[in-house]
Amino acid sequence: MQSKPWNVLLIIVDQWRADALGCVGHPCLRTPHIDRLAREGVLFTRHYAQSSPCGPSRASLHAGQYLMNHRVTTNNTPTAAHIKMLPWFMREAGYDPALIGYTTTVPDPREADANDPRFRTNTIADGWSIVRDFEGEREHYLAYLSGLGYHMPDEYVEIFRPAPGADESKRFAASPIRAEHSETAWSIDGALDYMRIRKDEPWFMHLGTYRPHPPFMAPAPYHEMYDPAAVPKPVQAATLDDEKNVHPLTRLLLDTVKAKSGVQYMDGLAAEVSVEDWCKMRAAYYGLCSEVDDHLGRVFQLLRDTGQDERTLIILTSDHGEQLGDHHLVNKRGYFPQSYHIPCIVRDPRPAANAARGKQYDVFTENVDVLPTILEWLGRPLPHQCDGRSLLPFAHGVAPADWRKAAHWEYDFRDMAGRKAAERLGIDSDATSLAVLRDDAFAYVHFAQLPPLLFDLKRDPHWMRSVADEPAYAGVALQYARRMLDWRLRHADRTLTGLAISERGLVGKF
C-alpha cells in the first residue's frame, strides 16, 4: 500500500532529436541512463512536438493544446491569460510546482502594463515556483559563473565565441566552461538539492536542461567523445538546387539561415556548410547529449537511493528536434520532421505498469498528450481545453483501439529572416503559417497562401520530392486536405463549448 505521497518528474530536454538515443539504435551515440529509463517504462518511437521554436512548443505541452488554439506563434508572442497552464492544474491537485529551466513566455498585454519589464525578454510563466531560472538573459547562471571567477561577457552566447581571428579549429573546441560548472551540471545540482530536502513530501518538478541546444560546444571531455568521421552523415538532396526547388519556403530558409545559429563564429549560410563540418557539428551535439544523459543518471540514482523512484512518475520529452544538417539546415526550421520528431518516455512506478516495462510503441503520439497523462496519473479530471489524450494506457500495456493514426504539427515563420518572410514570399503577414499531417503513407503540408506539399513516404522517406502537383496523386492530395480540415474542425477551441444553460442552470464541463 502506498504510504508516502506521489511525485511527478517532468524532464524536458531542449532540441533533442528522436533518433539521438542508444535505445532506438543510434549507431554511435551512448545514452545509458535514458536507455535504462526506457527499459523501466515505455518508449514512444513516433512522438512529435506540436510546433517550434521553444515558446510555441512549450505552450502546447503546458496547455495540452495545438498551436491553432493557444496561438503562441513565436518565442515573442504573448500567451493569452485565459489559457490554463500546467502549473495551475498542479496547484489544484495540491502540488507546489517547481521549475528548473524556462518556459519562454510573454505575458498577456491586456493583463500587464506596457511598461512591465517582462515585455523586454522572455520570462517564466505564472504559477511556477522557480528553483533555478535559465530564462531570458540567463542572469542567475551568469552570476553563478562570475562567482566562480569566470570572465563574463555582455551576453551569454558570447561565452562560446572564439576571439576574432582565432584558429578555425576553435569552432569545435571544448567549451570554456568546465564540465562541473556547465549549464547542465548547474541545473541538475539544483534538482538534486530540491529532491533531497523534499524526499518525504509530495513534489512536482519541471526539470529542464538547456542542452543539447546550440551553441554546439560541449565541455571537456564530452567535446571529443565522438569521432566526426564515425557519425551519421546528414540527409541531403543530390544538389542544393534540388533542395531549394521543392518549395518557396525551403528556398527562403536555405537562402537565409545562418551557420552561426549552430556554431558561433561560423560564417556564411547553413546551406554552405560542408559535410565534413556538419559531421563535426553532429559530434559536438552528441557530446552535449551524453553530458545531459550522465547528469540525468545522477537524478535517477538519487531517486533510487532515497526510495522516491517507487512513487515518482517520470516523463521525459523535448520541446522540438534539430536539423543537424539534414536538408542543409541547422536548428528547428520549416516543416521537416527532424525539427518535430522527439523522444518520449513514460515511467509509471506502480505495479499496474510492470507488464509493459521496456515496451516500445510505434503509434503516433504528441506533446499535447503530456498534460492529460499527468492529470490522469494524479486522478484529476481532463479539462475540455485539452487536445491530447493520456498515454497511461500504453504504460499499462493497453493500446486504445481508437488511437490517432497520424501526427500533426504547425509552424509560423513570421519571425524568420528579420520578420521579412511575408515580404520575400509575396504573401500576407498573417499567412506565414503551415500545418503538417503525416501518417504511415504520406506527409501533407498545407500553407495559408503558398502551394501545398505532398510526400509519398513509401517512395520518398526523406521528404525530397513533392508529388502534390502530379495528376496521379490528385486524389490523394484532396483526401489529405480534407483530413487536415477535419482535424482543425474537431480541435478548434472548445473551452466553453462543453457548457450550456438549462432549466437546472449551467450544465457540462470546462
SS3 assignment for 277-289: HHHHHHHHHHHHH
Beta strands in 211-288, from DSSP E residues, in sequence order:
none
Q: Write the pLDDT tens digit of every residue in 108-149.
A: 999 999 999 999 999 999 999 999 999 999 999 999 999 999
Residue 490: half-sphere exposure toward Cβ, Cα within 13 Å: 9
User: What's the gap between Cα 321 and its chain centre?
Assistant: 6
For residue 394, what is the enclosing H or E element? helix 392-395
Burial of 458 (0-12, 13-18, 19+ CB in 10 A): exposed
- The pLDDT of 228-243, averaged and rounded, is 98
For residue 485, what is the enclosing H or E element? helix 474-491
7-508: CATH number: 3.40.720.10
Q: Write the pLDDT tens digit of every residue in 418-468.
A: 668 999 999 998 999 999 999 999 999 999 999 999 999 999 999 999 999
Residue carrying C-alpha cell 484529476: 380
Residue carrying C-alpha cell 533531497: 196
- The pLDDT of 153-182, averaged and rounded, is 83
Residue 238 pLDDT: 96
Given the residues 23, 54, 289, 344, select the one marked as catalytic.
Answer: 54
**Residue 495 vs residue 389, higher pLDDT:** 389
Residue 167 pLDDT: 66
Q: Which residues contact 304 (CB under 8 A, 6 or more apart)?
A: none
Model confidence at 505: pLDDT above 60? yes
Is 54 assigned a catalytic role? yes
- High-pLDDT (> 90) share of the chain, %: 89
Residue 496 pLDDT: 87
Count of other CB atoms within 10 angstroms of residue 116: 12
Burial of 355 (0-12, 13-18, 19+ CB in 10 A): exposed
The conformation of residue 356, written as its DSSP 8-state character, comes to G
Closest of 26, 52, 45 to residue 319, by C-alpha: 52
Q: Write the pLDDT tens digit of every residue in 399-415.
A: 999 999 999 999 999 87
The conformation of residue 43, written as its DSSP 8-state character, comes to E
Residue 105 pLDDT: 97
Q: Would you give the end-to-end CA distance of the chain in angstroms? A: 33
Angle 301-211-417 from CA coordinates, rounded to 5°: 160
The answer to whether 77 touches 56, Cβ cutoff 8 Å, is: yes
How big is the chain by its Cα radius of gyration, in Å? 22
Phi, psi of 103 (to 5 degrees): -125, -10
- Look up residue 443 and give its three cell numbers: 506527409
Count of other CB atoms within 10 angstroms of residue 110: 9
Residue 1 pLDDT: 39
Alpha carbon distance 92, 408 (integer Å): 30
Residue 170 pLDDT: 64
Strands 42-48 and 360-366: parallel
For residue 86, what is the enclosing H or E element? helix 86-92
**Amino acid identity for residue 63 in this structure:** A
Model confidence at 308: pLDDT above 70? yes
Phi, psi of 247 (to 5 degrees): -165, 150
Model confidence at 417: pLDDT above 60? no
- The pLDDT of 251-258, averaged and rounded, is 95
Q: Average pLDDT, whole number, for the chain?
A: 95
Helix (H, G, I), strand (E, B) or coil at 344: strand
Alpha carbon distance 483, 68 (integer Å): 16
DSSP-based helix, strand, coil % in the chain, nearest 5: 35, 15, 45
Burial of 489 (0-12, 13-18, 19+ CB in 10 A): exposed
Q: Which residues contact 499 (CB under 8 A, 6 or more apart)?
A: 506, 507, 508, 509, 510
> 32: cis peptide before it, omega within 30°?
no
Alpha carbon distance 235, 337 (integer Å): 12
Alpha carbon distance 139, 143 (integer Å): 6
* Interaxial angle between packed helices 275-305 and 32-40, expressed in degrees from 0 to 180 and rounded to the nearest 10: 50
Model confidence at 171: pLDDT above 90? no
Alpha carbon distance 442, 440 (integer Å): 6
Phi, psi of 378 (to 5 degrees): -90, 5
Beta strands in 102-218, from DSSP E residues, in sequence order:
129-133, 204-209
> Residue 162 — pLDDT band, cuts 50, 70, 90?
confident
Angle 107-112-115 from CA coordinates, rounded to 5°: 105
